[in-house]
Amino acid sequence: MNKKVSFRIIMMAVATSLAVFASCSNRSSKDGSDEEKAKHGDILNGRLSVIVDETLLPIIEEQVDVFQNSYKDSKIELVSAPEVKGINLLLQDRAKTAIMTRKLSASEEEYFKKKSISPKVFQIATDAVVFISNTGRADTSITVENVVKILKGENIGQNYSLILDNVNSSTLRQLKDIGKIEKISGKGLKAMENGEEVLSYVAEHTDGIGIISYDQWLNAKRSFQNKDKIRTLSVQNSLTKEGDNKFYLPNQSTLAEGLYVLSRPVYILNYQPDMGLGVGFSAFLTGDRGQRIMLKADLVPATMPGREIIIRDKVE
pLDDT for residue 213: 99
* Rounded mean pLDDT, 161-178: 98
pLDDT level of residue 275 (50, 70, 90 thresholds)? confident
- CA distances to 44, 172, 188, 218 from 192, rounded to whole Å, are 38, 12, 14, 19
Q: Report the chain's mean pLDDT, rounded to a whole number.
A: 89
Q: Are residues 247 and 271 in the same domain?
A: no
Name every residue whose Cβ is closer than 8 Å to that of residue 84 and which is 6 or more positions away in sequence.
168, 173
First to last CA, the chain: 51
pLDDT in tens, 127-143: 999 999 999 999 999 99
Residue 314: is its pLDDT beyond 80? no
pLDDT level of residue 186 (50, 70, 90 thresholds)? confident
138 lies in which domain range? 127-263
Q: Are residues 208 and 270 in the same domain?
A: no
pLDDT for residue 41: 62
pLDDT for residue 304: 84
pLDDT level of residue 1 (50, 70, 90 thresholds)? low
* Rounded mean pLDDT, 258-267: 98
Q: Are residues 140 and 109 in the same domain?
A: no
pLDDT in tens, 4-27: 444 454 455 455 545 444 444 444
Domain at 132, CATH number: 3.40.190.10
197-227 residues labelled b (16+ CB within 10 A) or e (exposed): bbbbbbbebeebbbbbbbbbbbbbeeebeee
Q: Are residues 71 and 157 in the same domain?
A: no
Q: Are residues 12 and 116 in the same domain?
A: yes
pLDDT for residue 15: 52
pLDDT for residue 39: 44
pLDDT level of residue 307 (50, 70, 90 thresholds)? low
Q: Are residues 160 and 48 in the same domain?
A: no
pLDDT level of residue 33 (50, 70, 90 thresholds)? very low
DSSP 3-64: HHHHHHHHHHHHHHHHHHHHHHHHHHTTSS-HHHHHHT-BTTBEEEEEEEEGGGHHHHHHHH
Residue 297: is its pLDDT beyond 60? yes
Most distant CA atoms of the chain, gap in Å = 70
* Cβ atoms of residues 163 and 202 within 8 Å: yes
Residue 30: is its pLDDT beyond 90? no
Q: Which of 263, 285, 311 marks a domain boundary?
A: 263
- Structural domain total, the chain: 2
* Rounded mean pLDDT, 98-118: 96
pLDDT in tens, 198-218: 999 999 999 999 999 999 999
Q: Are residues 134 and 248 in the same domain?
A: yes
- CA distances to 167, 177, 253, 311 from 183, rounded to whole Å, are 11, 11, 33, 59
DSSP annotation of 228: G
pLDDT level of residue 300 (50, 70, 90 thresholds)? very high
Residue 248: is its pLDDT beyond 60? yes
DSSP H or E stretch at residue 190? strand 189-191
What whole-number percentage of the chain has pLDDT above 90?
A: 79
3-state secondary structure of 217: helix
* Rounded mean pLDDT, 43-68: 97
* Rounded mean pLDDT, 92-103: 97
Choose among 182, 131, 183: nearest CA to 160: 131
Q: Are residues 292 and 228 in the same domain?
A: no
Q: Are residues 271 and 175 in the same domain?
A: no
Q: Are residues 284 and 171 in the same domain?
A: no
**Residue 311, domain member (yes or no):** no
Question: Hey, how many other C-beta atoms are within 10 angstroms of the C-beta on 102?
Answer: 17
Q: Are residues 112 and 143 in the same domain?
A: no
Q: Which position has the higher pLDDT, 165 or 10? A: 165
* Cβ atoms of residues 216 and 118 within 8 Å: no
How, if at all, do strands 120-134 and 141-142 pair?
unpaired
Q: Are residues 155 and 174 in the same domain?
A: yes
**Residue 180, domain member (yes or no):** yes
